[in-house]
A and B are shown apart, each in its own frame.
Chain A
Amino acid sequence: MIKLKGIKKIYSTGDIQVAALSGVDLHVRASEFVSIMGPSGSGKSTMMNILGCLDTPTEGEYFLDGTDVAKATGDDLAVIRNRKIGFVFQGFNLLARTTAIENVELPMLYAGVGSKERRARAIVALQSVGLGNRINHRPKELSGGQQQRVAIARALVTNPSIILADEPTGNLDTRSSEEVMAIFQHLHASGNTIIIVTHEPDIAEFTQRIVHFRDGHIEGDEIVEHQRTAKAQILEEGVAK
């Protein structure tokens, strides 16, 4: 599914060159649930940008679904992001003046999906995160946890190859965090590949595998022995029907 070989990312500021990533090899199989951990400055955000095709590596190969995307540029990257990747951000990043359903429809708008199908799929996605009764609310009218769930619905609505979440619980309280993680576990159970960047160990314990970053390279790669199961009221109501 995801294969990284010798990925390097070097930023040049004048004469000074800073290596954010210095040769990373990583293999993530389909339907894995991985968390990337590391202190700030470890290169995990750069890793996230490259995995999400927001940025390209200076050196190395990145195979996503069998195609090398390391050399893609501009609009080609936009198409890859649109078709293969679903983003969930720490700050939710929903369009403020737009309703929940319109936010979820947005990636399909750029994929050229017709308006009727768009709406139907957006409703299904919102129902699957337990927000079937909030589709016409604007982000302002939703709690932080609900906003993040809208963002997750937006990420999964295109059936992407991977869902990338950058500190998805960073702005949430414990209860909302657990709700969000419960949704991720549910999505994982139904076959989605999910990669989460986090610096909270207890959040990482909800995943199957933890990759540790330090100073631009992978320091450790471990399987979570005692995976925690997130429980959430909302899922029992919203999805289990």
Chain B
Amino acid sequence: MNFFESIRVSLRALRANKLRSALTMLGMIIGVAAVIAMVGIGNGATASITSQIQGLGSNLLTISSGQSNAGGVKGGAGSSNTLTMADADKIEVGTAIKAVAPVSSASAQVVAGSGNTSTTITGTTQDYQIIKNVSIASGRFITTADVDSDARVAVVGPTVVTNLLGDANATIIGKTIKINNVPFQVIGVTTATGSTGFQSSDDMITAPISTVQERLIGKKTVRSILVSATSADFMQQAQDQITVTLEETHKIPTGKPDDFTVQNQADILASMQGVTQTLTMLLGGIAGISLLVGGIGIMNIMLVSVTERTREIGIRKAIGAKSMDILLQFLIEAVVLSVLGGGIGIALGYGGSSLAGAALKMSTSISMTSVLVAFGFSAAIGIVFGVFPAKKAASMDPIDALRFE
């Protein structure tokens, strides 16, 4: 008997017991759908976290001051102020580096008319806009001219506007606000990014670094220098360039520890992605167990089916079916159940993860790989769990099988 005929015989047997076939498939459907949906949601979460981190600035490197070392007691990174404006100027924009912006910040009380709020004042230069992808809703960002002339100008975030004037849409451009009693003229408002919490870019005032140092901090110190690499591929080169430049400027002998640290955004990204990928695997693994249970369900039903159809097996063998014919017939039944269940499961899982994505307001992504793996896995389960019942059927003695009541 050829393979095609075997498939026809198997399909007919499955059709003869529609309810049972459907219920058996349900196990596979749930298992595969769970795997697809879980992996889809996990991938979506990874993508969303990645884009959030990248939203902080593309290909960002952060240079911080080194540790203070007072009498052998070491402070944390940035505890000594070793970075200067000159350092920032020394780091040259080129093939690897796209933009450099020194940052000094202070917390201050801000007053505008009858409203007041406490927020962070970030003193920086024009390049900060490029590095942090700052988008301006109205007005303009600070310029090099502002920095050079110590201009008392400020760009405010939408949350600051709300806190000061009670309404995010109120006109603030051109008005004067007092930061620690120093009057600043508002020249721009940033677009809301939706970020919240500590150091939200919405609850922040940006001003020329020279002005902030002079008027608000009183010292010419630079807290950190932000550097944007030209692309992800140039991150390492940019990092090397910074290290070499600063070691030279700071006259650090080879072998001695640097008095600054360079943090790579890609490192943070990688560790975050590591976390979410582990989570995805965990979810997928749990769903995989239900796939296994589905497979055992198929084996169970196939065993029952083999016993129930002992007489049929006897008849088929008596009129000339070889062991392989019987084996194939039952194996194909199991594989059809699992593959069909897998196919429906993929469709359901796809729908389920889209639904979950819509409900959780995040994008989910079903990778072709996970579909292929789930499909291949369900076919494999059909074979693995189908072989045992099929072998049992194929090895039956025709005389005993015919006598079976």
A110 to B398, CA, bound (A): 15
Pair A107/B319 contact, Cβ less than 8 Å:
yes
Pair A107/B399 contact, Cβ less than 8 Å:
no
CB distance from B6 to the nearest CB of A (A): 9
Partner of B321, one of A55, A98, A110, A154: A110
Which of chain B's residues have a CB closer than 8 A to the CB of A106?
316, 319
CB distance from A50 to the nearest CB of B (A): 10
Contact of A93 with B by CB under 8 A: yes
Chain A interfacial positions (CB closer than 8 Å to B): 49, 52, 54-55, 74-75, 78-79, 81-83, 87, 89, 93-98, 106-107, 109-112, 154
Q: B302-337, CB under 8 A of A: which get 1 and which 0?
A: 000000000110111111111111000000000000
- 29 CB-based A-B contacts, threshold 8 Å: A49-B399, A54-B402, A55-B399, A74-B322, A74-B323, A75-B322, A75-B323, A75-B324, A78-B321, A78-B322, A78-B323, A81-B317, A81-B318, A83-B320, A87-B318, A89-B402, A93-B314, A93-B315, A93-B402, A94-B315, A95-B315, A97-B12, A106-B319, A107-B319, A109-B1, A109-B5, A110-B322, A110-B325, A154-B319
CB distance from A110 to the nearest CB of B (A): 4
A209 to B322, CA, bound (A): 34
Pair B320/A97 contact, Cβ less than 8 Å:
no
A52 nearest CB neighbor, chain B only = B318
CB distance from B92 to the nearest CB of A (A): 80
With a 10 A CB-CB cut-off, give which of A75, A79, A95, A111 has the most chain B CB atoms: A95
Closest 3 CB pairs of A and B: A82-B320, A110-B320, A107-B319
With a 10 A CB-CB cut-off, give which of B5, B317, B319 has the most chain A CB atoms: B319
CB distance from A43 to the nearest CB of B (A): 14
Q: B interface, how many residues as a size bin?
A: 20 to 34
B318 nearest CB neighbor, chain A only = A87
A48 to B320, CA, bound (A): 16
Which of chain A's residues have a CB closer than 8 A to the CB of B2?
112
A144 to B78, CA, bound (A): 98
Partner of A107, one of B9, B16, B320, B323: B320
A83 to B322, CA, bound (A): 12
CB distance from A136 to the nearest CB of B (A): 15
A104 to B47, CA, bound (A): 61
CB distance from A185 to the nearest CB of B (A): 23
* A81-B323 contact in complex given A93-B311, A109-B5, A112-B1, C-beta closer than 8 Å: no
A57 to B68, CA, bound (A): 98
